[in-house]
Structure 1
Amino acid sequence: MIEVTNVDKKFVNGNESNHVLDQVSFHVEKGEIVTLLGKSGCGKSTLLNMVGGFENEDSGKVVLDGKAVKRPTRKCIMLFQQINLLPWRTVLKNVELGLEGEKMEVAEKNKRVTDALKLVGLKEHLHKFQHELSDGMQQRVTIARAFAMQPDVILMDEPFAALDTFNRYLLQDELLRIQEKMKTTILIVTHDIDEAVYLSDRILIMGSHPGRIFKDIPIQLAKPRDRAGEDYHYYRKRILQEFELSGNRQEPEYTI
């Protein structure tokens, strides 16, 4: 579904050049959840923006479902850390926002919105406004909006980082439940090792200065995963060790 091949990227500011990505290559199969794990500044968000069509590569190529990525499309939706809801619109109207401009029957649009809100457990909160919702519920609205659009790929940039631990765990479980039903391909950016191990089919560890893929590690555990299990902790320890070997040992930004 996603193919990134020999991607290189530099940002130039006057006489200064920052080499952000160096010959980065990876792939994501249809229906996989893959995480880009690395410290801040390693280029993982830049990579995500390239897959989403918001940033262009200097060299190499980014391909989505067999076509070169040149611009954002409705086949590939981005979810950010910031909760992007319109405060003057209700839950229902915020989810409908993603379908505005789509050529479809009203009944089909209503069904998509209703089904998406059922998936995230917000069917009883259709007419509430943002200020009446908890942070976790607000993030669920953004997830519902994304799934109502029925994209092939969802890109997630630290989507749960602003939430407290219990809400973060709850939404991670919600995401896995919905993804299992919808079979959507998901690419996540995080520097949280626990989140990466809990959600991912594969983890791509990134080194930095410039950014590169250091290791591609399959997580061969059944879902949902037992955070207290011995096998789970084996992967956490392994990922931490690989993360340190990647050149990120100084100033680490991992979570245990």
Structure 2
Amino acid sequence: MSHWTGWGQWLALITMTLDHVVRYLLPDNWDAGWLSASLGRIAFPLFSAMVAWHGLFNTRSPLRYARRILIIGLIAQLPYLTMPRDGFQLNICFTLAAGLAAGSVMRDMWMHQRAPGGPSMPAGLMVASLAMLLLSWWVLGSWVEYGHLGLAMIPLYMLAFSAVRESAREAVPASPSKSLPDAAVSIASALPVLVTAGLMNSSTMAKAFTVATSLAVVMLATGAGRQVPRVPVPMPRRLWLAWYPGHFAAIALLLHWPR
């Protein structure tokens, strides 16, 4: 089921790099902004989906995983700040790390409440925890890339992935009466992700690419991922970890090198 992430890594890095090269290096008279508004809009929903998937199914400690993403973001922040933009902003790794941490905390709270025979979390503690998460989301959303909507993507992906996987486990192939409720659960769980993905962009083209990417990933979670073969050339781990800060450092050198 996780084979799709091998393809996703290559696609996310390629489309992200294309977006940044068009945005920061190509002259305006090249009129290549359509690439950034189309293929460039694939990267963030794909990164968010992979982080949410690994946080749910492929790591024992989502918070430790979030910490690794945060370290990459800290390394990348200096060259990221040299990119032309209005005001201070934290790079996408901070968005991903915060989204994963929030989604993991909310999932743990939900699983704690559902544990059979176990002690439920006191209502006051749950309300206080949710209030702190909401406050953190509101404050941090003004500082990170993709803002409040970007911070919401990973928790919403985690909700959708959990719902469709649970629905698939409970499905009975011999019972057609279950197919309609299961499909309804899958659609309902995917809607918040798709709506949020659409709201993150202004142009119709950008909305279409972002929503299509999110929809494709949710469909993979419903079972289509079993049909995806392994990627022929897996992404080297060192390349995967170093590419984000490294490509910003390369762009910064090209952008600010004395001419």
TM-score (norm 1): 0.31
Greater percentage in strand = 1
Q: Which has the higher contact order (CA 8 A, sep 6+)?
A: 2
TM-score (norm 2): 0.31
Larger radius of gyration between Structure 1 and Structure 2: 2
Greater percentage in helix = 2
